[in-house]
Chain A
Amino acid sequence: MIDFLFDGMPARGAALAIAEPEGICDYAELHERVLAWTERMAFEGIERGAVVSVEGDYGIETVSVFLALLGRGAVIVPLSRDSAPQRDAFLELGEVEWRIVAGAMTFVTPTGRSAAHAHYQALRTRKHPGLVLFSSGSTGQPKAAVHDLALLLKKFQTPRHAYRTLVFLQLDHIGGVNTLLYTLANGGAVVVACDRSPRAVCAAIARYRVELLPTSPTFLNLLIVSEETRRHDLSSLKLITYGTEPMPPYTLERANDCFPGARFLQTYGMTELGILRSKSRDDRSLWVRVGGEGFETRVVDGRLWIRAESAMLGYLNAPSPFDADGFFDTGDLVEVDGEWMRFLGRNSEIINVGGNKVYPVEVEAVLLAMDNVEDAVVHGEPNAISGQAVVAHLKLRQEEALPSVKVRLRRFCLERLAPYKVPTRIIVSAEPLHTSRYKRSRRAGVACSGAA
């Protein structure tokens, strides 16, 4: 059931499997490392069903440990540097029994805990490996989603195109796990950049002739604005995928102009469900078809519900979010045209101005097209007169006095948006407006937060 992932490795021999800033690793070496880790786990006493954290960023060591744990049938709790501030809480919440902390020396330590949650028991009964991912949720406590990794892996048994892929999201994000499994299942290579700055990403693409760049609209916007794309040879890129948030039309237009040789594909996934197969109507279209084998979708009152064979078992710390038929309310608002869908934003992010709905992404798209605007984030704030008011946070390319920005912004927006959509409060920020995962952060009053 999961053997296909390992069986192909020796035969792929000297083909590049992982490139990280400190070195590269081919399939033969990766296979050896996984075997060595499997032996060490047996020696340490990490058995099937054990709940084990893998702490560290994407790289040869973390991937080897991840794969060895997968083969051993353990429950993997990946924790990247992104989640460092919440590490202790996540170890506790995940009932982690063993910690594997990757670094120059990789440490394996038992925590003394014993994981007895019903979802863990279910995985042990099935004799399936597991995966725990933490969803930030826009409000309140992070939720721990428990996946059956055998079910998540199932879709990768169908061979697909092998790409050299830049990993953008970490192993503790459903997108990062999906990229890893897709790439290794098909004999592609994962390329890790030194960091997620536009410069480092472009340098890694050029150095390893990367073909697939999975990213977010926010990062694509920054990439274009940074002009790093002109300083590196990025002609190897064949496919750019974007997800995690709605794409502003202006960013998609500019991205197409910036990478004329690449195709663009919108992706869609949820921590709770896995990543769906998707197809964009065309490179410049925001209309997308999502679903594919193992996924069913339905739209109720404009909200997307999904039933997935690969759905999580449930949360460790919250009631089951599935309805009686097994459908999950994604909270994403969509417009439907036959089999095509267009994402409008999160239900929780809609701003209600005097009874009129405002989608932040629509306003952000206009602001991003303004002169001197590097990035823009829009959210609502309570207002005694209009219920809520539209607030725009702007990061400018060059310094500009607030009164001038305000006048320009209002004139620009009034020509392109209904008056109630025009931001009334305008805040110029010197800080980045996105999260560490390059997703626009729309929490009121918080321009940049750690979770995504």
Chain B
Amino acid sequence: MVAAGELREIVLAAMSSANLTRTADSQMTVADNAPIFGPGSPLDSLGLVSLLMDIEDGLAQMGIQLTLSDARAMSRKRSPFRDVPELVAFMTELLAEPV
């Protein structure tokens, strides 16, 4: 089981990395409670796709294969991509599922 703290580090690292290719006025806030997609975030849907893939790559480095942008994520009432805590909770949930 991967600790929530580790998952958060992977998310934050991917956000920092994404900021390197984003313009000065479209930087994401990199913080434990920062928004990711939606109100308060400069990320558009393409940016989200890209960020999620970077997070997947980060997980792959730890030997974890996970697809974050799947249909279930999209159909939820409350988006798992709205902020860092929601995304970490969503990842934890996916990881807990039997393979």
Mark A residues whose CB is within 8 Å of B.
Answer: 353-354, 383-386, 389, 402-403, 406-407, 410-411, 414, 419-420, 422, 424-425
Contact = CB atoms under 8 A, between A and B. Distances in A.
B73 interface: yes
Interface of B: 17, 20-21, 45-46, 48-50, 52-54, 57, 69-71, 73-74
Contact of A384 (B53, B54, B69): B69
Contacts of B17: 403, 406-407
Mostly, the B contact residues are helix
Nearest to A408: B21
A386 B46 contact: yes
A383 B56 CA distance: 13
A354 B46 contact: yes
B21 A384 contact: no
Contact of A389 (B49, B54, B57): B49
B21 A385 contact: no
Contacts of A425: 53
Indicate the member of B20, B53, B54, B74 with the most A CB atoms within 10 Å: B53
A420 B50 CA distance: 10
A424 B53 contact: yes
A385 B45 contact: yes
Given A385-B69, A410-B50, 11 more contacts: A383-B69, A384-B71, A385-B48, A389-B49, A389-B53, A407-B17, A411-B20, A414-B21, A422-B50, A424-B50, A425-B53
20 contacts: A383-B49, A383-B69, A384-B71, A384-B73, A384-B74, A385-B52, A389-B49, A389-B53, A402-B57, A403-B17, A406-B17, A406-B54, A407-B17, A407-B20, A407-B21, A411-B21, A419-B46, A420-B46, A422-B46, A425-B53
A354 B45 contact: yes
A131 to B, nearest CB: 46
Contacts of A406: 17, 54
A410 to B, nearest CB: 4
Contacts of A410: 21, 50
Contacts of B50: 410, 422, 424
Q: Which of B20, B49, B73 has the most CB of A within 10 A?
A: B49
B10 to A, nearest CB: 12
